[in-house]
Amino acid sequence: MLSDLPIRKIIHVDMDAFYASVAQMDNPELKGKAIAVGGGGDRGVISAASYEARKFGVKSAMSGRLAIKLCPDLIFVRTDFERYKEISNRIRKIFFDYTDLVEPLSLDEAYLDVTENKIGLPSATLIAKKIRQRIFDEVGLTASAGISINKFIAKVASDYNKPNGQKTVNPEDVLQFLEDLDIRKFYGVGKVTAEKMYQKGIFTGKDLKSKSLEYLETHFGKSGKYYYYVVRGIHTSEVKPNRIRKSLAAERTFSENLSSEIFMLEKLDHIADEVAKRLAKSKVSGKTVTLKIKYSDFTLQTRSKTLPYFVSEKAIILDTAKDLLYQEKLNNSVRLLGISLSNLNTDKKALAQKIADKDKKTVSVQLKFEF
């Protein structure tokens, strides 16, 4: 039962069109114009689009070629991750003025647990407003926020009044909110899963809630249990301030498709070099090397090998990636290659943190309290 669970005050802050907004802030001439970050050239893929561009159907992961057809006046700008990191760090410092329980999901979004907060304000809704106002005043960007009893509902709610808005789902409104929710808005339900649910007559949270746990596990596997509980407002994952890196990767999209492994060796050398640099910067190493291959028809394939020891040296990573490349015949010409290292030595820290978390006592809060 939802009423038996500890109720937290969770805020999900999501920056509005972050990469594009940073570009517009840094170059006032771009304000109010349709811009896309990345995507330039014949093979480019868009990383982000301004809201002006989104009106034309331009969105992230879309090819620049298609985007320019949808929006002929589209302006392409280069990505600048160092600048994004700088801005993201400034925003995070604002978060820490309110709580130490901050869990970054990416450069432009994070969860905050403000059940107990540094300013002693009982209303999570007011805290979210203060945070969004400070981001605007001190950084110059707008943010949206979702506020509710757990991470799942807060994340869904943050998308409701974008851009530059927020939505609170109070404890007593949670179940109705979830029942009314379009299945496509459930975090974790992608396009393919949504289509499968439609075929089974599941269009809203209410439809999903009518299905038994056994039914959902039969038709949706392990995810079925997740769907069963979240539609009932049950999502017990805590805000974890010390997220442990699970993998580190680098990849390259080519200007022309590559049809032979021989032509890919030089590309892999550059990618392995980048991975090694990132490992050195992060001071981590790993055991599992994964080769990512995206073919010209956009199908994706991964090949992995786990080594008996931790590695971070370019030579070993490159040799392993080469072995994986020659492991089996290519299915088609290749447009992208990537190398990632997982099973990192940080996993030991994660285990230690997990054990420590079990020793913590969860404070149960009354169901009705100020949000």
**From the first residue on, what is the mean pLDDT of each consecutive set of 10 residues in the chain (371 residues)?**
72 97 96 92 85 95 91 94 94 96 94 95 96 97 97 95 96 94 90 93 96 94 93 91 80 88 92 93 92 91 94 95 93 93 75 46 42 74
In the numeric block, which tokens belong to residue 31? 């304000």
Whether 52 sits among the annotated catalytic residues: the reply is: no
Domain co-membership, 11 together with 150: yes
Which pair of tokens denotes residue 232? 């009932």
As given in the structure block, the two tokens for residue 348 are: 């030991």
Catalytic position from the list 86, 109, 256, 328: 109
- Which residue stretches of the chain are H helix? 18-26, 51-54, 64-70, 81-95, 124-138, 151-157, 174-180, 191-199, 205-209, 213-220, 223-230, 261-282, 314-325, 347-358
The pair of structure tokens assigned to 162 is: 């974008």
Do 129 and 12 belong to one domain? yes
The number of residues in the chain equals 371
pLDDT value, residue 368: 44
In this structure, the answer to whether residues 317 and 302 fall within a common structural domain is: yes
Beta bridge partners of 295: 334
Using only C-alpha atoms, the chain has a radius of gyration, in whole angstroms, of 23
Q: Are residues 143 and 221 in the same domain?
A: no
pLDDT, residue 247, reads 86
Would you call 147 helix, strand, or coil by DSSP? strand
Compute the distance between CA of residue 145 and CA of residue 16 in angstroms, rounded to an integer. Answer: 10
Q: Examine the domain organization and report whether 166 and 181 are in the same domain.
A: no
121 and 145: one domain?
Answer: yes
Domain around 143: 7-16+82-171
Q: Is 230:216 a contact under the CB 8 Å cutoff?
A: no
Give the neighbor-by-neighbor strand order of the sheet with 286-295: 247-258, 334-344, 286-295, 300-311
